[in-house]
Amino acid sequence: MYPGNLESFYSRFPEADALSYKDHSKMLLEDTTEFAGSYFRAFRKLGVEAECVIANDKRLQNKWKKENYNRSDNRKDLLFEQVRKFQPEILSIENLSYTDTRWLKEIRVRVKSIKLIMAYHCSPIKTSIYERLKMMDFAITCTPGLRMDMDKHGINAYLVYHGFDSGILNRIDVDRIPAEKELLFSGSLAFGAGFHNDRIEFIESLLKDNTRIDLYTNLEKRYKIRALQFLHFANRLIDKTGTNGIKKYFPLLEHGILPVRNYSSILLNKSFEPVFGMEMYQLFTKYKVVLNIHGEASGSCAGNMRLFEVSGVGSCLLTDNKSNLKTLFDINNEIVTYNSVEECKSKVRWLSDNENERRRIALAGQKRTLNYHTVEKRSLQILDIIRAELSD
């Protein structure tokens, strides 16, 4: 789970620490709006027996260890024992960085119940992750571009777009007063290859043109920026000295392929602290227009979560134009697109000046998402893929 979401949960529910692992996990998974909780709830609603391990929740993991397994402090050993105890037929891994090739080989051999191991991966792919993806029976990703990339590397991959958890509508104030604020961007601004360099440049261009936009952003820590800058310097030095072969021994160098600069002062001054979960969804409803900008990993294709989160709550989505968007929404009738900074600014002004049309587009986009792009529909799609793979 996203660290900010975990922090939000523990600030709201300090009593979780006194609960058993089972009750603690249940409270977290019922509360969260994140991928793990939404799909866990959807699969159970569909009659699938499922268990969810939140590998990066140290409080929860330590509690499971204390109650069930006290023989090792190694996190991979702990995850192994959690899988072994549940005895799944399907092992689904969302974060492959918590595994390695040895772990994956061993779990196939020692946990006899496992029939398939699948991965969900929808972010830039490092060399070490490719190695693990190749060990999966299949992988699921959220954009056509990432699927094509996996296909090129010999990975059995399926496209399943993100979905909106419609249960969220029961947890936010939908009988709200009309949105009064003009333009919102809420999301991460991370440096590095495949991440948000273009997004950062785009937002800074809007700010320099005095566009009225509120930013709720998750920014890189200063030490991480310094580390990325050092890795880029190391890459350049290696390239100049002709010792490229050394890179395979230092996989961290992959993070320094592109130059990394500091955030501009105007962006830093305009940014609010990021919001998560229900607070984020409620924030969307307060704005006339919510801006979406895909990360570089998406390439020419759309597919990030904001498409469905914003439209799902009935807010007006303004997103960067991508080649496959027309297969997901009716452009200019259900969502609005732009191809440049200038066009983005022009569309914001038009939507702000044409309130009735903006509301019509927002409601049409919500109808589309609730009819076609929900987590439950995506879960049914995943179950069909699993059945097909089991029958091969």
The pLDDT tens digits of the residues spanning 125-150 come to 888 899 999 999 999 999 999 999 99
Distances (CA, A) of 16 to 19, 22, 58, 59: 5, 11, 13, 10
- Give the C-alpha separation, 370 to 294, whole Å: 22
Residue 261 has pLDDT above 80, yes or no: no
Cα of 81 vs its chain's centroid, Å: 27
Which band of pLDDT confidence, cut at 50, 70 and 90, is reported for residue 175? low
Residue 345: what pLDDT? 96
- Give the C-alpha separation, 143 to 298, whole Å: 6
- Give the C-alpha separation, 252 to 378, whole Å: 34
Give mean pLDDT, residues 217-223: 79
Element (H, E) at 316: strand 316-320
Cα of 116 vs its chain's centroid, Å: 24
Residue 218: what pLDDT? 85
- Give the C-alpha separation, 286 to 9, whole Å: 23
Residue 228 has pLDDT above 90, yes or no: no
Q: Look at residues 232, 294, 276 and name the one whose alpha carbon lies nearest to residue 257.
A: 232
CATH of domain 166-220+263-372: 3.40.50.2000
Give mean pLDDT, residues 247-253: 68
Give mean pLDDT, residues 109-118: 97
The pLDDT tens digits of the residues spanning 299-340 come to 899 999 999 999 999 999 999 999 999 999 999 999 999 999
Cα atoms in the Cβ-side hemisphere of radius 13 Å centred on 19: 15
- Give the C-alpha separation, 36 to 33, whole Å: 8
SS3 132: helix
Residue 292: what pLDDT? 97
Q: What share of the chain is helix, strand, coil (3-state, %, to 5)?
A: 55, 15, 35
Residue 194 has pLDDT above 60, yes or no: no
Residue 178: what pLDDT? 67
Q: CATH 3.40.50.2000 in the chain, residues?
A: 166-220+263-372
CATH class in words for 3-165+375-391: alpha beta
Residue 142: what pLDDT? 94
Dihedral of the CA atoms 330, 331, 333, 337 (nearest 10)?
150
Residue 80: what pLDDT? 95
Give mean pLDDT, residues 343-347: 97
Q: What percent of the chain has pLDDT over 70?
A: 93
| Residue 287 backbone phi and psi in degrees, to 5 | -115, 145
Residue 243: what pLDDT? 73
DSSP at 232: H
Which band of pLDDT confidence, cut at 50, 70 and 90, is reported for residue 103? very high
> What is the token pair recorded at 227?
């580390």
Q: What percent of the chain has pLDDT over 90?
A: 76
Residue 29 has pLDDT above 60, yes or no: yes
Residue 392: what pLDDT? 83
Residue 220: what pLDDT? 75
SS3 90: strand
DSSP 213-227: -EEEEEEPPHHHHHH
Give mean pLDDT, residues 168-185: 83
The per-residue pLDDT of the chain, averaged, comes to 91
The pLDDT tens digits of the residues spanning 268-296 come to 999 999 998 999 999 999 999 999 999 88
Amino acid residing at 354 = N
**CB-based contacts of 190: which residues, under 8 Å, 6+ apart?**
196, 218, 220
